[in-house]
Amino acid sequence: MTATAAQPPRRFTRPVPVSVNGVVIGSADIVRETQHHPSNDPDRAWEFATRALAIRELLSQEADRLGIVAEPIEDEEGRAETEQEARYRQLIERDVIVPSADEETCRRYYARNRQRFRTPDLCEAAHILLAAAPGDAAARTQARETACALIASLRARPQDFAAMAAQHSACPSAGQGGNLGQLSPGQTVPEFDAALRGMAPGAVHPEPVESRYGIHAVRLDRRIEGRELPFEMVQARIADYLEESVRRRALQQYISLLAGRAVVTGIDLAPAASPLLQ
């Protein structure tokens, strides 16, 4: 048997000190910062924390160079900036210019992305739930057999659905004949969504539908197609999106410009990976 090569140990500190124009980013500061960059990969959290601190140091040094003094303000929820955050904000407002998205630009985006501006498709559906835990194979087999028998009966006598739901379903909807009302995509479990997509209105699904809750007999009552939203209703949303996209790109370029002027060691401040821009 061939021995498996040992995996290199994960590292949580940088072999090369990280500094910006001679100001060292300390390990203790990086450790504290990692709590703001949760990740299943500790090295990735360390990387993002280090990058965030290095970028803040770049901004701080530029604010010092320009003599920027700023008054902290509160956001809509009453959270106040720190003095340093206020200086970052004023520096960025001074140097990063973001033009407003005019109506023509917004209309072009709307015309190219009409599918994004629709109300969701809706389904009116009913079901009979035969409850069975995911790990209980015997119960699920029994529930599946019962569901098959119910589906066979319902295909012959669809008018009996409400009575069968009241008698057999373990869902609270049993009291409403199994009726689930209007459902939008993602509102139910994925298996249920998939079953509804392939059904014709008025039909009972020919096979039992399995989910983590158990086994379902499913009926689609009505399909309501989503409608396109008029431009006037979404113009402000489009403008906000476009302006935010431009702001992010401009901020990336600004940080790249500052990094290009500085002496940065121990980390690559590639703008696309900046945690301040996520």
- The yes-or-no verdict on residue 19 having pLDDT over 60 is yes
Mean pLDDT of 204-208: 96
pLDDT band at 13 (very low <50, low <70, confident <90, very high): low
pLDDT in tens, 27-78: 999 999 999 999 899 888 999 999 999 999 999 999 999 999 999 998 888 8
Q: Write down the pLDDT at residue 176.
A: 95
For residue 85, give both structure tokens.
């955050």
Tokens coding 218 = 């499913």
pLDDT at 100 over 50: yes
Quote the mean pLDDT of the chain. 90
Model confidence band, residue 9 (pLDDT cutoffs 50, 70, 90)? very low
Judge whether 191 and 211 are in contact, CB under 8 Å. Answer: yes
| CB neighbourhood size of 241 (10 A) | 16
Q: Measured between alpha carbons, how far is 84 from 93 in angstroms, rounded to an integer? A: 14
User: Per residue in 237-273, pLDDT tens?
Assistant: 999 999 999 999 999 999 999 999 999 999 888 654 4
Of 26, 58, 57, 29, the C-alpha closest to 259 is: 58
Q: For the whole model, what pTM was predicted?
A: 0.64
pLDDT at 275 (0 to 100): 41
Q: Which residues contact 272 (CB under 8 A, 6 or more apart)?
A: 252
pLDDT at 278: 42
Domains of the chain: 19-101+234-277 (no CATH), 122-224 (3.10.50.40)
Question: How high is the pLDDT of residue 78?
Answer: 84
Q: What is the 3-state secondary structure (H, E, C) of 200-215?
A: CCCCECCCCEEECCEE
